[in-house]
Amino acid sequence: MDNEQVAAILQEIGTLLELKGENPFKSRAYANAARTLESLSEPLAQIVAENRLGQIKGVGEALQKKITELVQTGKLVYYDELKASLPAGLLEMLTIQGLGPKKVKALYDKLGIENMDQLESACQAGKVAVLEGFGDKSQANILAGIAFRRKYATRHLLPDALAAAQPILEALRDHPEVIRCGPAGSVRRHKEIIGDIDFLASSKKPAGVIDYFTRLPGVTQVLAKGDTKASVILPGGIQADLRVVSDLEFPFALAYFTGSKEHNIVMRQRAIQRGLRLNEYGLFRSQEETRDPALLVPCPTEEEIFSQLGLAYIPPELREDQGEFAAAEQGAIPRLLEWTDLKGSLHNHSVWSDGRGTLAEIAACMEDLGCAYWAITDHSKSSIQANGLDSQRLQQQLQEIQQVNNQLADQGTDFRLLSGVEVDILGEGRLDFEDELLSRLEVVVASLHQGFTQNEAETTRRLIRAAENPFVHMLGHLTGRLLLEREPYAVNQRAVIDACAATGTWIELNAHPYRFDLDWRLWSYARSKGVRCVINCDAHRHEDAGFLRLGAGIARKGWLTRQDVVNTLPLAQLKQALAAKRSAAK
Ligand code: DGT
Ligand code: CA
Ligand code: CA
Ligand code: ZN
């Protein structure tokens, strides 16, 4: 068990003890110890092995025993028993706004309420209002808090969060008392799923900025409001927090609130190793926690903070503690892909299957957006629900693409449509079309759209067989996941990546925000195997071209550079790249 896991359990023990009504000093001791363990610079396993737990401040004998048990066995009998002694629903009740351990304990002791549903019924029956320490207002607040939790499931797709954040950021930039501002948190790190939006601003008059923020159009509810921070609900039910700091503090607060939490922990450890302390207020020449301005190491920008800690600048997308520190120490952070490097998308649909635009409309629109090419890869015949093309219609479409391209050439335009198909991968990895037909198409994407229920070995075999076909350029949306809707199907992704490496097959990064598939966490592995990425819109309408930008952000999270991404190539080179696998197979 690593330091973080041990810290999380100690933290939870503190909460459970509070719920049991134990001595507050006891529960606080656990919470404090958890914080201390989080910022340790060496693994607990080593400290335990060398019998040095006693040297850590705030870790007495009883805690030493428990930490040792956790580190050595991965379990703690005391914790398991404590947890079993209370209903599991109590912890969930703590997530309701305004309900702390004391109140949850009172509700449990006096009314026997064990979970959120029971709490809701009790409130509706008026039983909570009459309890000592509660009252009508408190009961109404609890009901509102429960409704809120239900309605606003706290996970949102990235583009929804970006769309909600955009007008707020513009409004903040317009405010005369705002010096610097920007997004932080998971939005700035370009995570595929967002819990809440975090804004940060610097100002000499924070209270005025907070007031302005809570009154902005689009703020549907104010959850909390103080002098320097506020939480609100934006359209779509997304929660947004704003913190306002001094401009001196801004870079430190930005680094802190950008996270991730895991990344921050390593940053703090690095500071401690250098005899410094890093927190949201600054970097201080101090051996203990402080925010004393006299001890501050001034850093006008985030770059300077990294530099003080012996690191090259780490782009926000990489701040996940996934190897960025080793790279930044050696000055080996790659120059990441920019979305403007992308020249077009190689997996898109038209009215011929389930898309909206005609071929001529798509060509005009994508040319206008500045693309160099756009592949038309409509569905194949087995995708009946998506109006998939049979071989005859596909051949008609080929002719129409030729006509559109001829017209483009006559107009002296360099933009071209590319012919193609998104061919279904059928049972045992057979494809929906014969090789002969595939060989006449410029771009072949092979995707799984059916038979998800099969076991992992079978699905993996199907994908590998598709990759082995010399006419398949790339595998589409490898895991079939639909974020917040459908789990990925069981597939051994690394085995498929290995097969793509062996056969010279590319893998799609499907940039549809429901998919972002292949996941960013796997691209480092694919890259290490020499597998190239294609960032595709899977466009069904013109607006979907905007997915290229989102996909590029996900590719950046996957450490990808321009060289790793096929559709950064200009048309002539792309055509060579498309020909390579086929000629190698001859
Ligand atoms: P989200 O909102 O779930 O999508 O993810 P984040 O990363 O935006 O998380 P959030 O909003 O809870 O907090 C924003 C950042 O603040 C987070 O990435 C790191 C920092 N932060 C928050 N709480 C802690 C903490 O307990 N310890 C440390 N080290 N950092 C924290
Ligand atoms: Ca957040
Ligand atoms: Ca937050
Ligand atoms: Zn598709």
**Calpha distance 390→309 (Å, rounded):** 60
Is the separation of the CB atoms in 270 and 329 below 8 Å?
A: no
Helix residue ranges, H only, 470-510: 493-503
The residue whose CA has the least distance to atom 30 of ligand 1 is 261
Is the separation of the CB atoms in 497 and 529 below 8 Å?
A: yes
Q: Which of 265, 343, 234, 225 is nearest to 39 (CA)?
A: 265
Is the separation of the CB atoms in 344 and 567 below 8 Å?
A: yes
Cβ(279) – ligand 1 distance below 6 Å: no
Tell whether the model's pLDDT for residue 96 goes beyond 90: no
Q: What is the pLDDT of residue 541?
A: 93
Average pLDDT over residues 351-358: 93
The 10s digit of each residue's pLDDT in 210-233 is 999 999 998 988 989 999 999 999
Reported as a pLDDT band with limits 50, 70 and 90, residue 98 is confident
Helix residue ranges, H only, 125-214: 135-151, 158-174, 185-188, 206-214
The 10s digit of each residue's pLDDT in 40-52 is 878 899 999 999 9
The residue whose CA has the least distance to atom 9 of ligand 1 is 185
**Calpha distance 510→286 (Å, rounded):** 47
The 10s digit of each residue's pLDDT in 28-72 is 999 999 988 887 878 899 999 999 999 888 888 999 999 999 999
Tell whether the model's pLDDT for residue 453 goes beyond 80: no
Helix residue ranges, H only, 358-492: 359-368, 391-410, 435-438, 456-468
Cβ(139) – ligand 1 distance below 6 Å: no
Amino acid present at 131: L
Average pLDDT over residues 140-165: 86
Tell whether the model's pLDDT for residue 250 goes beyond 90: yes
**Calpha distance 88→230 (Å, rounded):** 31
Closest ligand 1 atom, CA of 256?
20
Q: What is the pLDDT of residue 88?
A: 83
Average pLDDT over residues 128-147: 92
**Calpha distance 555→565 (Å, rounded):** 9
Reported as a pLDDT band with limits 50, 70 and 90, residue 384 is confident
Q: Are strands 238-245 and 229-234 parallel, antiparallel or unpaired?
A: antiparallel
Reported as a pLDDT band with limits 50, 70 and 90, residue 97 is confident
Candidates 37, 198, 265, 266: which one to mutate for ligand 1, based on the most atoms within 8 Å of Cβ? Answer: 198
**Calpha distance 116→91 (Å, rounded):** 10
Q: What is the pLDDT of residue 388?
A: 94
Q: Report the SS3 class of residue 202.
A: strand
**Calpha distance 315→322 (Å, rounded):** 13
Is the separation of the CB atoms in 103 and 133 below 8 Å?
A: yes
Tell whether the model's pLDDT for residue 134 goes beyond 70: yes
Is the separation of the CB atoms in 558 and 509 below 8 Å?
A: yes
The 10s digit of each residue's pLDDT in 514-564 is 999 999 999 999 999 999 999 999 999 999 999 999 999 999 999 999 999
